[in-house]
Each structure stands twice: as structure tokens, then as C-alpha cells.
Amino acid sequence: MQIYSNSMKWFKNTSEAVITTLYEIFNQKNQADKSIQKLLKTQKKWGSRDRKFVAKVLYDIVRWKRLYEYVTNSEIKTIEGKWNILTAWSKQNKVPIPSWFQHTIDDKKINFSQSLPFSIKQSIPDWLEISGKKQMGKEKFEREIKALNIEAPTVIRVNILKTTINKLQKKLALQNIKTIFKKKYPHALFIEGKPKLTHLECYKKGWFEIQDASSQQVAFFVNPKPEQTIIDACAGAGGKTLHLASLMKNTGRILAYDIYPEKIEELKKRAKRNGITNIEEAQVITNKIIEKNKNLADILLLDVPCSSLGTLKRKPGLKWELNPNKLKNIQTIQKNILKIYPKMIKTGGYLIYVTCSILPEENEKNIKSFLEQNKNFIFVEQKHISPSESGNDGFYMAKLKKIN
């Protein structure tokens, strides 16, 4: 667990904002990311130090909720529990505890160094520990969960249609933003610290997108060719779609679909900003569209809905939003997509299956089941990206070929 090193102190308005946001997340069951971002957007008078401080407090408490509950013998859903947990966070991070904090715990009794069960020490639900160890083995699962509890670095993807790594590094340096280039990630720059990026002119001009380094590996795994027709059928807001388009240098054809209209609209805006011109369609997917595109695609990319457990570095609230029934429903959706969407692939074309999950049930097992039921597809290759090895998000990718 990272300790807050900056000299900060609580104010009544910041502490009350944190309590209110924790109520939204854990009592009203709002998504943690959305609740935190909403808070930061509404507090226009806060300075950057206050904003960073509050964001860190909230993300830390969301990430380590179960551990904080244990060491304070509290429940985060109660008002006393929230104040007790703020007290524990403050003690741990050496931030002075104000006299007006409404805590009911003696901070001298808070002990983070005691020997604890894995699920409490690493702050995950019991069901996830049981399921993860059963699927992955104890050692591997524990290694990945520990890595996923380390905050993710900020990574951007350089838009090679508009600029180069060197040019963007120099441009960002003029804004006092330090970046690191790693050869393993050809289009990525790792940002030092947590500076604001989306207000920069070079971002508005489409020189870069904010995208995790592991996510950037998907387009390279797809390995698109300039003359191909590619269907990105679970495109979301288009992060991977845009990367594919840039690798194709605006040649060939990309058809982008998703079930959410708002994500498609965001994709269109981003494509315009990025200078992308080879996305011929960006629409909400329907059965009619699937039939129209039958036997069309050289490559079908299915970045399917998943548990997103591989992204806990950046979205720690997901582990509290997920449960066994929800995971089962997600797997049903994955199987349905694999049942219906592949008809859009032409003979000789490729199916690329992708998740940002670490669980085999969403990954290899789905591919094995699909191949057993579809003898006109053969396995080509797969790739696992391990959070513990990469330091980035966890991903799974599989490539299958459609044969006669």
C-alpha cells in the first residue's frame, strides 16, 4: 500500500465530500469511478492539491475497503464506519486527524502490520479468492491480485498519423510533463505523476489518446493489413478501433459497432479528432447488420464484455460491484456473442477474441468451448498479459482462423 508523502491536511468540506462520495459508492451502489469523477468536476473551487488529495483518499479506500473495515472493526456502509476508515487512512498516511472527525475508534489501536488472511490483507471478496484460486492456482492468483493492488501508471498512445514519439515527448516536456518510452510498447509513453492531459492543445489536436499499455497490445496482436476489411463488433468508445485505423494508415475498411449509442457517438468524436478516415461505419449493432455483413470480414475483433478484473489497478471499485451471479451473466453474454457474431467472418479470415480479465473461465475455456462447437475454425495463437509481469492491465487474446 502506497503511503501519502505530501504535507496535506483535512478541511471540513473535503472530508464531508469524501463521506458523501463513499455513501454514493457503497450505500447507493454507484460506480466508484463515475462517483469520484463527478465529485472532482463539481468542486470547481478546489485547487489541484485538494483534488489530488481527495482522489487519492477515495481510490485508496475503495481499493482497500475490506482491510480498512477489518482494522477498524467497522462497516463502511455506516456513517461511523466511514469516519473510522477516514481515521485509519489518515493515521496510515501520516495526515493529522482533526478534532472534528466523527470517529469512534482509538487510532492507537489501528494496526496494519498484523498477520491477516489473504482476502483481508489484499482486500478482495471471499468468493473471488475461492474462484480465482480454483481456476488459476493459489500461487498465480495471489501474485496477480497483489500486482492489481498497485496503482496503474498513466499511459498514452501516440497517434502516429499526426506525430511521432520524439515530437510528442518534446511537446509534453514544454508543459513540464515528463515521459518515458519503452521499446516493448512502440506507440506508448508512460507519464510521470498524474498530470491533467485532456486540456492540452496536442490532445485536442489528436496527437495522443489515454490508453493502457496492455490495451495497446491488442491492435498489434490483430496485425491489420492495409487492404483488409476489419469489423470491430464490440468497439465501445473506440480506443482499439482508433489504434487499428492508425496502424492501417487510414487505408482499408473498418466497421465499428457496439450496443451502446453513447459509446458510438464518443467513437465518432474521437475519430474526427484523431484524423481517422477509414472507419466506414460506426453504428449500434443489430441482427440486420450482422446478416448484412455475413462472410465479409478479413478480421473480426471481439473485445467482449467481461469482468474487467485485469483493470483493478485503475478501477478498484469493480471488485465490489462484481458477484458470482453477475459474472455468470457476463459469461453468458460472451458465449452468445461467440455464437452469433462470427458469421461475419469470410473463409480464410480471422476471429480475434479479447478480454481484460485474468480468469480462465472468461478466456481459454470460452475459446476451447467455441472450437469444440465450431469445427470450421482452428486455433492459431493466444497471448496472456500478466499484471504481475507487465505492471499494466491484465489481458487475454486469442486468434482463430475460419477454414472451409
Please report the pLDDT score of residue 44 as a whole number: 86
Q: What angle do CA 270, 182, 136 make, to 5 degrees?
A: 85
Mean pLDDT of 214-238: 97
Q: Which residues of 125-144 are buried (b: 16+ CB within 10 A; e: fewer)?
A: eeebbebbbebbeeeebbbb
Q: In DSSP terms, which residues pair with 384 in a beta bridge?
A: 396
Confidence check: pLDDT of 7 > 80: no
CB neighbours of residue 26 within 10 Å: 22
Superfamily classification of domain 154-210: Sun protein; domain 3 (3.30.70.1170)
Confidence check: pLDDT of 274 > 70: yes
Confidence check: pLDDT of 3 > 60: no
The 3 state secondary structure assigned to 2-13 is CCCCCCCCCCHH
Least confident range of 80-84, 107-111, 309-313 = 107-111
Among candidate residues 390, 232, 371, 220, the one with its CA nearest the CA of residue 311? 390
Confidence check: pLDDT of 1 > 60: no
CATH of domain 214-402: 3.40.50.150
What span, in angstroms and rounded, lies between the C-alpha atoms of 403 and 97? 66
Query: Could you tell me the pTM of the whole model?
Result: 0.94
Segment 135-186, tens digit of pLDDT:
999 999 999 999 999 999 999 999 999 999 999 999 999 999 999 999 999 9
Confidence of residue 320 (pLDDT cuts 50, 70, 90): very high
Please report, for the chain, the start and end positions of each structural domain, with discontinuous segments joined by +: 12-116, 154-210, 214-402
Among candidate residues 159, 346, 319, 363, the one with its CA nearest the CA of residue 247? 159
C-alpha cell at 71: 482494522
Segment 93-149, tens digit of pLDDT:
999 999 999 999 988 889 888 899 999 999 999 999 999 999 999 999 999 999 999
Sheet containing strand 179-180, edge to edge, reads 179-180, 188-191, 154-158, 208-210
- Which residue is listed with cell 509481469? 389
C-alpha cell at 320: 465490489
- Mean pLDDT score of the chain, rounded to an integer? 95
- Which residue is listed with cell 485474468? 358
